[in-house]
A and B are shown apart, each in its own frame.
Chain A
Amino acid sequence: DAGVIQSPRHEVTEMGQEVTLRCKPISGHDYLFWYRQTMMRGLELLIYFNNNVPIDDSGMPEDRFSAKMPNASFSTLKIQPSEPRDSAVYFCASSLLRRGGETQYFGPGTRLLVL
C-alpha cells in the first residue's frame, strides 16, 4: 500500500485566499483524522471521521475551517479565507479500529504558508 497520500506538499498563498488540502487514506481504514502542527501548540487534532461521517470537529479552530469526506478514499480540509496564523503543517492520518487500541498512520503533511 502507498500509505496516506496528501497534496499539495507545500502551499504558499496570500491572506484572504481559499486553501484546499487533500488526503487519500490507506485503503480499508475506517477512521480519518486531520491534525495541525505548530511550534506553539504541537500536534493538535482538528477533526476526525468514521466511515466518512464527521464524529468530532471540536478541534476546528474557527468557522473558516471546514472538512469533508465524500467517500472512503478522499477527504478535504478547506480554509476560507486564510489568515497568516493558519500557517502550519497539516497532517492527515488514517486508522483501522482494532481491539485494545489503535494506531494511526500519518501522511507526509502539507506545509502551509499564508502571507
Chain B
Amino acid sequence: DQQVKQNSPSLSVQEGRISILNCDYTNSMFDYFLWYKKYPAEGPTFLISISSIKDKNEDGRFTVFLNKSAKHLSLHIVPSQPGDSAVYFCAASESGAGSYQLTFGKGTKLSVIP
C-alpha cells in the first residue's frame, strides 16, 4: 500500500509555462514533506521542503503548496526551463515520531519542451 502517491508518471510543459507536479499521501502522521529532483544516472537531489506547520514555501522559481486537509501537496515551477527536465520525487516523513525515514512516491518525469 503506497503511502505517498504521484499519480502522473509523466508531464510535458512548454518552456516558460508553469509546471505543476502533484502528490497525495495517506498517512496523517507525516509532518515533513520534500521534493527531490533526479537526472538520469545520478542520485536524487533535494529541491525544496515544507513543514506541516506551513502551507506554502517558496524558493526562487519553485514553490511547494501543502493542503493538509486534503493530504495533498504540489510543486509549482515558474517559469519552466529545459534544464528542469528530470524525474521529480515527492517524499514524506514523520519526524515528530523520532523516525527519520523518508517515504517516496514513484516519481513524475517532467519534460520541458523548448
User: A residues within 8 Å of B by Cβ?
Assistant: 4, 31, 33, 35, 41-45, 48, 50, 56, 91, 93, 95, 97, 100-109
Contact = CB atoms under 8 A, between A and B. Distances in A.
B103 interface: yes
A69 to B, nearest CB: 15
A106 B95 contact: no
B29 to A, nearest CB: 14
Contact of A100 (B36, B41, B51, B104): B51
Nearest to A103: B46
Given A102-B95, A103-B46, A95 B51 contact: no
Listed from nearest, the 4 A-B pairs whose CB atoms lie closest are A106-B43, A42-B106, A101-B32, A43-B104
Interface residues of B, number: 24
B110 interface: no
A45 B32 contact: no
Contact of A106 (B41, B45, B99): B45
Interface string B90-114: 0001010001111111110000000
A48 B100 CA distance: 9
B42 interface: yes
Contacts of B107: 42-43
Given A100-B32, A100-B51, A101-B93, A107 B103 contact: no
A101 B49 contact: yes
A108 B42 contact: yes
B44 A91 contact: yes
A48 B89 CA distance: 19
B44 A43 contact: yes
